[in-house]
Every structure is written in C-alpha cells, then in structure tokens.
Amino acid sequence: MVKLKFIIRDDALVLRISENKQRYYKSVKHLLKGNPNIDRHWNNDKERFTSYAVSYAENNQILDDFKGFYQSLIKEYPELSAKQVAQFYSSKPQEEATEIETPAVCNNNLDLVENFLEVVIEREKAKQGCNFEAYYKLQRKCRKILKGYSSLNFQSINFDKCVAIAHIFAKNGGYRGTAKAFRNLLGKASKDSSVNFTISQIGDFSFNNYDPKINEIDTKKPDVLSPEQLKEFLTLDLSQTTPTYKDRKQVELYYDFCVFMFHSFFAPCDVIKLKYKDINKQNMIHVKRKKTHKALEIPLNPVMENIINKYRGKTKNGYVFPIMDDELEKQYTTKDYLFKKFRERVNIWLKCVGKELGTDYELYAYVFRHTAITVALDSNIPLSYVAMAAGTSIKMIQDHYYNGNNSQNTDKLQQVFMSAAY
C-alpha cells in the first residue's frame, strides 16, 4: 500500500511517497509562502505548521491541497506502485502545478550508503526495544554535512575515504556519537549479503584516532542526588509536594515511577516498557535494556512489589505501569509517542521537585538511575554485579562513576596517607 507523509529531508520539506522499502520525494519548498522556519515551527506528528510560523494558515492549506492530489490518485488507482504515483503528474502537462524540481529517488540500490541507512533505520524500528534514533540522527547529519552524500557508495569507502569522512565529522559537534553510528553502519553493511562491501576495505582505520577530544579529560560527573536529598525524596509527603499539580493521582504515578527506577537501576524507557511477563515466579525481572539490548536480571524487593501490585489491573496490554496503550500508540506517526510524552511530563514535574529538594541542577528522571548506581558502588557492591544489574559495561561504570572521587573513599585515602607518616 502506498503511503504519503510530509517530512523534513536535507533541511527542506518534502512529501514522501513510500511503499515497503521504496521511497520517493516531492519537494514543496517552492510552493510555500514567506519562507517559514521548518526546524522550529513544523509539527511532524500533525504534518502541519504551528500557529507561530509565518503564513501558517495559507501554507497548511497549500500542503493539504498538494497532498490531496496524490491521495485522490491512490484512491482512484490503488494498483499504482509508489514509483508510478510519484511520476504520474510529472508526465501530464495539464498538471504543471504539481511538477517538482527534485527528481524521485529509489531506495532499491543498497550499495548507496544513504539507501542502506534508510533500510537499517526501518529494520531497527521493527525490533522490540529498538534504538533507531542514533541511525536516524546519523542520516540527517550526513545529508547536511557530507557533500555528495546521496551518491556515496560502499565500494568507494576505503581507508582514505574514512579519513576524509572523519575529518568532516570532527568539524561538527557530537563526533563520538556520529562516528560510532557510522562505524556500526559499516559493520552492518559488511554482514549484509545485499551490499557489496567488506570491512577489510578500510584496513586498520579507527575513528577514535580522529576524535578532536581524544586527549581531553572528561571531568563531568553524572547528576546524582546526595544521600540527604535521596532520603528526603523517598520519604516525601505526596499530599504536600508540588501543590500546583491538581491531579494527585498523576503525581503519585510520577513518584512511583521514579522510586521504581531507583530500586531497579532502570532507565525511563525500561520502566515504561516493563511487562508482567518479564517477571518470573522467583520474583526476578528478566529483560533486555532498550538502549544496549543487554540482558539483565533484577530481583524484586518489597518496595518494587508494592508498586507493581498497586497498579495491577489498571494497565493495558500487560504493562506494569499504566502509561502505554498499544492501540492508542498506533494513532501516532512518531514511534514511542506515548512514552516520550510521559517522560516529558515526568521531567517537568521533577523540575519542581528538584527546587523543593534544593538540587543545583534541574532534576530529571535519569538522575534516579545515576543515583542507584552511585549508591550501589558506595556501598561496596561488586563492580561487575552493578554493571550486570544496570545493563551496561564495566568500562562505562569505571569511566563515569567508579573513579574514587566519592567522599567516603577520599576521606579513607587521606587517613591512610596521614597515618603512614606516624
């Protein structure tokens, strides 16, 4: 079935005409009035400009009319393929208003990096607990900063080409994330039988060697609650906290969500997606982390059990928390829309809580995962167990948490050195 959707591509608004893995694009830039700011004023879910955009009403009508041509065509001729739909009006002189300057692009040739990356994004989206965002960001960045990206093919990628790409990445922000995603893409291409590429083409090239911050020391530590702030949060009087929130049931849900995060080491997405089927008869949670896909095993404690029982029978589709609704989720074009909106509302609430606790940063949900890891390490829980329970690597824990800078270890070290002199 042919689908239509307005998207931002190469910093321009286009109509995407898609069917399975085929993608064709029709530019509408030349039709818009007043040069509206699509980065700030385009609503991707509603496929409309917000009321803050210049000539928003007129431009929204232009988009409706433009899309309507193709919707009518699909309805009248359902047998047409995406390619036929994309080229239909271009072949008819009486429809000059719909002729587009940008040629249609077919994604069948997977030897093109851009096309294969589109396929990888779709494959990642189809996975349970996927993390396609890194590849999506890579696609947008490459289209923006790599000259000739639309014609870049895997056969041309060798050591020298990777050096050139690395230098371009280094001139832009977020080198590590971009380089890591691109290197992962090369690995996937090398293993895909439909792509003419082998990883040996790049020899011993390593993106790490071109990291502009390779010699810089990262002194930023994760935001965590102090022992006093944590105790205050875990003993909050919910009837008194954040009094501006009228829906106290919602406040209670936000609070339980954060408490569960602390006791489980989970990230927000892992808590939201947790289902009853992930809990076995031995009261152990067995899941794969959404971000890393690492399997982890967490024992339920009484606090977690009470929270789970509290919402039992009030959720849909087997979820532990009453947040996700699979049927409702289908109504939104943005993946994990309900999850993202809930996380946004939780973080807004936590900003208010952070002021009450006196944090020197704006409190947000991920802090409870950071705090859980820090508390476990300060309590001398083995590093390997903390890494397993948190679903991450020992190196990540060492790089960001376990560096001997906590106050207890600092005091002990000073005492040992001072006692050595006497």
What is the sign, positive or negative, of the torsion defined by CA atoms of 277, 281, 285, 288?
A: negative
Same domain, 173 and 319: no
Q: What's the CA gap between 376 and 88, in Å, rounded?
A: 63
Most confident of 12-16, 81-85, 351-355: 351-355
12-19 and 3-9 beta bridge pairing: antiparallel
Beta strands in 259-364 (DSSP E): 284-288, 295-299
Asked which of 210, 239, 259 is the last residue of a domain, the reply is 210
Same domain, 202 and 70: no
What is the sign, positive or negative, of the torsion defined by CA atoms of 269, 272, 273, 274?
A: positive
Residue 88's pLDDT is 66
The single-letter code of the amino acid at 75 is K
CATH number at residue 389: 1.10.443.10
List b or e across 304-332, with b for residues whose CB sees 16 or more CB atoms inside 10 angstroms.
beebbeeeeeebeeebbbebbeeeeeeee
* Residue 420 within a domain: no
Asked which of 183, 210, 237 is the last residue of a domain, the reply is 210
pLDDT tens profile 324-370: 999 998 888 777 788 888 999 999 999 999 999 999 999 999 999 99
Same domain, 254 and 355: yes
Range of the domain at 46: 3-98
In the chain, pLDDT over 90 holds for what percent of residues?
45
Same domain, 122 and 75: no
- Identify any residues that bridge with 297 across adjacent strands, giving them in sequence order: 286
Query: In this model, does residue 102 exceed pLDDT 50?
Result: no
* Residue 366 within a domain: yes
Q: What's the CA gap between 149 and 383, in Å, rounded?
A: 43
Number of helices (H), then strands (E), in the chain = 17, 7
Q: pLDDT category, 307, cuts 50, 70, 90?
A: very high
Same domain, 206 and 122: yes
Residue 104's pLDDT is 36
CA angle in degrees (0–180, nearest 5) for 328-329-335 = 165
Query: In this model, does residue 413 exceed pLDDT 70?
Result: no
* Residue 14 within a domain: yes
pLDDT top residue among 262 and 88: 262
Q: pLDDT category, 99, cuts 50, 70, 90?
A: very low
Same domain, 10 and 93: yes
Do 214 and 208 contact (CB within 8 A), yes or no?
A: yes
Do 42 and 1 contact (CB within 8 A), yes or no?
A: no
Domain count, the chain: 3
* Residue 217 within a domain: no
295-299 and 284-288 beta bridge pairing: antiparallel
Query: In this model, does residue 229 exceed pLDDT 90?
Result: yes
- DSSP string covering 160-175: HHHHHHHHHHHTSS-H
H-run or E-run covering 42: strand 42-43
Same domain, 262 and 195: no
* Residue 377 within a domain: yes
* Residue 221 within a domain: no
Same domain, 314 and 363: yes
Asked which of 155, 178, 210 is the last residue of a domain, the reply is 210
